[in-house]
Chains A and B, each alone.
Chain A
Amino acid sequence: MPPDLKCKIAGVEFANPIMTASGCAGYGEELAQIYPLSNLGALVTKSISLKVRPGHPPPRTVETPGGMLNAIGLANVGIDRFLSEKVPFLKKQKTKVIVNVAGSTIDEYVEVCSRLNDCSCADMIELNISCPNVNEGGIEFGTSPQLTEKTVAASRKVFKRPIIAKLAPNVTSITEIADAAEQGGADALSIINSVIGTAVDINSWQPLLSNVNGGLTGPAIKPIALAMVASVYRKCKLPIIGIGGITDYKDVIEFLLYGATAVQVGTALFVDPSIPLKIVKGLKKYLKEKKLKSVTELIGKVRR
């Protein structure tokens, strides 16, 4: 019998533990032209805000050793156009859909979440309380335990299906934020969002990003992400979705061993949009070799 890749988070079953990370797959349309989205455990959408956001002016990205800095600025179509233009497409895809939600006030989170509650296409939502590159919100919510709890609790009241809180690494204690998210009623945690960073042009002496600061992603942040997943797994009962620099099936196994139930692949999609398919293939082979029946047998099994 082939090994079972299915996994379950807060009662929602996924065909495999490989999801796309928010902001790395748009609303799925581009990837769907390359392969059927049914190959994914879930598609996580770009952050949706109440109003359209054009995003930051260019330059928005910088290549760095082992990854990139980005300051896209939460460019997105806004909830109205998301529901009218993107949901009809997403409804036709045979994959789970997780809608990532961003806001600059708690009221904005609530408004977007309540609109999504009426949209059956959103199997889950993921609260982005950790975007490092917009001034008026995002990370402010995710660096304060009080605001994390408040934001999650307010969203919880209006969204009746499972809620994931996406946590920032740019905090003193991620376990404190994880506890706050749990207190607020989150059903799962995704760990981590990007790490704050910047870069300067040594000839013009100007920052290489129009926004100055950006979020560092890619293989460079994998060890940071793994350590944060491990520390939250030890202290918090909520299921974890591991994110940070995942490029192949071996990275996925590391995250699972440290306690993640599923993972999201982000920056690696930019190098190879088909990477989820290759990861799934690699995972199957690994499980077979290790004589494991299910991918869930790896969760939290690190030996220490």
Chain B
Amino acid sequence: MTKPTCEDALVVKKRDLNNDYFSLVLAPFSGAKSIKPGQFVHIRLPSTDIYFRRAFSVASVNPAKKEVEIIFKVFGRGTKILGKMRKGDSLDLLGPLGVPFSFPLKNENAVIVAGGVGFPPLMFLAEKMIEKGHNPKLIEFFYGGRSRLELVELSRLRKMGIKLHLSTDDGSAGNKGHVTGPVEQYLKKNLKEKMKLFGCGPERMLKAVDELGLKYNVKGQLALEALMPCGVGICLGCVVHLKAGGYARVCCDGPVFEIGVVNIAS
């Protein structure tokens, strides 16, 4: 584990991505250079009635400028406050925290499954893979949401040159239905030995991806989300059930787990 840094950073850029989705770029954060895809920053909110930090997986970094980008949807009390932050506001960041994704081998097909607010760490993963020389044509990025409005940063994803497959529950963009339907069709047709599966999204989607990985015998990793009081492994508050029995801490045994390991609730 890289030693986490705890320091204040400023909001240097804020983008409204529509439908309550926001992107905040925070800098300077000296931990930025060591953040890997799948890892998160634990953010303390400038509020007296919210006690705990909130964990956000990182969407991108700019090591030279010590910038960290997070993308979130306003959902509860914490994100509501974050959504109101303005350029120049200060936030207390702790990170990088957690186990990152393992990069697939260069010749491996990466099947990435993103559901709703789960897409930022996967976009970061795809970006870093390409940066490290992975052929973008080998990256199949399945991205699903409730409707067209729930799919954000599409032009950014398209620019990466990856194969983007969209799904929406209402059919307003891409395939109508759950994102995992087209993933299964893809696996059926294109199953290769050199293939890795990656997922991040709602629990029901993660469970389906986990089952697909096991059914088609494709290895890979899932990034989980949990309410984390501490984020560093000391409170034991964010545990999930393991299939082998016992518990694991999402914050430091994860949030990235191998497919088949966690008994995902749904």
Partners in one complex: yes
Q: A residues near B, CB below 8 A?
A: 23-26, 30-31, 33-34, 54-55, 57-61, 63-68, 70, 72, 75, 218-219, 267, 269-274
C-alpha gap A26/B6 in the complex (Å): 20
Known contacts A54-B247, A68-B52, A63 near B234 by CB under 8 Å? no
Asked if B187 CB lies within 8 Å of chain A CBs, one says no
Chain B residues within 8 Å of A274, by CB:
6
Asked if B240 CB lies within 8 Å of chain A CBs, one says yes
CB pair B232 A34 closer than 8 Å: yes
Chain B residues within 8 Å of A267, by CB:
51, 229
Q: Give chain B's interface secondary structure class.
A: loop
Asked if B241 CB lies within 8 Å of chain A CBs, one says yes
CB pair A273 B230 closer than 8 Å: yes
Partner of A57, one of B6, B50, B241: B241
CB pair B3 A68 closer than 8 Å: no
> Which residues in window 221-266 of B have CB below 8 A to A?
227, 229-230, 232-241, 246-247, 252
Beyond the given A30-B233, A75-B236, A271-B53, could you list 7 further A-B residue pairs with CB under 8 A, ordered by the A residue number? A26-B233, A34-B232, A60-B237, A63-B227, A269-B234, A270-B230, A272-B94
Asked if B136 CB lies within 8 Å of chain A CBs, one says no
Min Cβ gap B180→A in Å is 24
Q: Give chain A's interface secondary structure class.
A: loop
CB pair B247 A26 closer than 8 Å: no
Chain B residues within 8 Å of A270, by CB:
52, 229-230, 234-235, 237
Proximity string of chain B (41-74) to chain A, C-beta cutoff 8 Å, 1 when within and 0 when not: 0001000011111000000000000000000000
Identify which of A60, A66, A218 gathers the most chain B CB atoms within 10 Å of its CB. Answer: A60
Chain A residues within 8 Å of B44, by CB:
271-272
CB pair B52 A58 closer than 8 Å: no
Identify which of A24, A58, A67 gathers the most chain B CB atoms within 10 Å of its CB. Answer: A58
Min Cβ gap A83→B in Å is 20
Chain A residues within 8 Å of B174, by CB:
none
Asked if B1 CB lies within 8 Å of chain A CBs, one says yes
